Amino acid sequence: MKQTDFEQLHQSKWQAFAKNVQALREGQRQPQAIEHFAQDYRGICQHLALAKQRGYSYPLIEELQQLALQGHQQFYRHKSPALQQLIGFVLVGFPATVRAQWRSVAVAGTLFFGSLTLMALLTLWFPDLIYSLISANQVASMESMYDPANRIIGPMSARDHQDNWMMFGFYIMNNIGIAFQTFASGLLFGLGSLFFLLFNGLHIGAVAGHLTRIGYHETFWPFVIGHGAFELTAIVLAGAAGLKLGSALIAPGRLTRAHALRHAARISIRLLGGAIIFLLIAAFIEAYWSSSNSLSVTTKVTVGAALWALVLLYLGYSGRGRHAPQ
């Protein structure tokens, strides 16, 4: 069946289901709608499976996926306690959203990691280039943080171990601030998210290239590789969420800009929520694992590589074939 025929056949059902979901969200429990809700929800899931199987367009698949996720939320919200809903979001809803928004994630990842890699290489080849982004005082401070002679590596390397919990809080506030900035600036038609993805990528790349060039690679890379799996991925996801907002404003399609923005915001908030969870994990690892100089380089690199693999496997495969509350 052609996609146009498929849409014409079922469009009225999808619109009716969306209205029922909205009514349930607002507390309007219509007996007839509730009676047929489970059947309608299964129908939406079936249509989603057919759309994927037949290779219909991405916008249609995304629309059906969002309807299925919203239906699941309403179907189970009175049956699942808050903790169970959080677990469902972590195990299924969040990675499923990342996969559904792979285009935005791919664009954000290319901008961030591409600029990071390019700047690191340029800084290796042209040492003075770092001073075009970072002041000499900041460069000297970076060098002191990752001096191999330090007992504790990283920001505030002179602190005692009992101050780790304070650094944990500092990392949380700093990293979440960066992520929210990258996300919220997407309201500037995506230009803000674009800027912060490139800025952070260039900044981190310059530091990485400089510290590698002066021989501090055995302290810098083992320090960042562990928590970086979660922190850098979170920055990309926050950027993808911001780009999603921007794309809704630039190209709303058949919807009004306000309607398109509301639809995009529901998706973006899920991406941002997952990014914040990643940042909490990153802050804990950075405060209690990354900063320690008592662990061997081999141990840190091995664990760091395993964490990167874990993040990629989680986002790529966790919750496949299931629908979770948003």
CB 94, CB 270: distance < 8 Å: yes
- For residues 146 and 35, state if they share a domain: no
CB 65, CB 44: distance < 8 Å: no
Which of 220, 229, 267, 233 minimizes the C-alpha distance to 247?
A: 267
The region that residue 293 occupies, defined by phi over 0 for left and psi between -120 and 50 for alpha, beta otherwise, is: alpha
The residue type found at 9 is L
Range of the domain at 66: 3-79
The reply to whether 300 falls in a domain is yes
- For residues 110 and 254, state if they share a domain: yes
- For residues 240 and 116, state if they share a domain: yes
Q: What tokens does 72 get?
A: 């699941």
- For residues 65 and 118, state if they share a domain: no
| Residue-wise DSSP of 260-294 | HHHHHHHHHHHHHHHHHHHHHHHHHHIIIIITBSS
Angle at alpha carbon of residue 23, lines to 20 and 28, rounded to 5°: 125
Strands (E) located in the chain: none
Which of 130, 116, 249, 108 minimizes the C-alpha distance to 182?
A: 108
- For residues 65 and 150, state if they share a domain: no
CB 271, CB 71: distance < 8 Å: no
Q: In whole angstroms, how far apart are CA 320 and each of 81, 95, 323?
A: 22, 9, 8
30-80 pLDDT, tens digit each: 655 566 677 888 888 889 888 888 888 878 888 888 888 888 777 666 555
Given pLDDT bands bounded at 50, 70 and 90, which one contains residue 164? low
Burial class (CB in 10 A: 0-12, 13-18, 19+), 253: exposed
- For residues 107 and 71, state if they share a domain: no
Task: With a cut of 60, say whether residue 323 has pLDDT above it.
Answer: no
The reply to whether 86 falls in a domain is no
The reply to whether 87 falls in a domain is no
The reply to whether 85 falls in a domain is no
Last residue of a domain, one of 37, 64, 79: 79
Beta partners for residue 292, in sequence order: 152
Scan for tokens 């926050």, then name that residue: 238
- For residues 125 and 51, state if they share a domain: no
- Cα distance between residue 197 and residue 192, in whole Å: 9
- For residues 21 and 75, state if they share a domain: yes
Q: What is the DSSP letter of 47?
A: H
What's the chain's average pLDDT? 85
Given pLDDT bands bounded at 50, 70 and 90, which one contains residue 155? low
205-251 pLDDT, tens digit each: 999 999 999 999 888 999 999 999 999 999 999 999 999 999 999 99
The reply to whether 244 falls in a domain is yes
- For residues 32 and 164, state if they share a domain: no
- For residues 169 and 109, state if they share a domain: yes
The reply to whether 326 falls in a domain is no
Global pTM reads: 0.75
- For residues 32 and 145, state if they share a domain: no
- Cα distance between residue 122 and residue 313, in whole Å: 31
CB 7, CB 60: distance < 8 Å: yes
Give the total number of structural domains in the chain: 2
Scan for tokens 């909490």, then name that residue: 280
The reply to whether 201 falls in a domain is yes
- Cα distance between residue 61 and residue 55, in whole Å: 9
77-98 pLDDT, tens digit each: 655 566 777 888 898 889 999 9
The reply to whether 227 falls in a domain is yes
- For residues 122 and 66, state if they share a domain: no
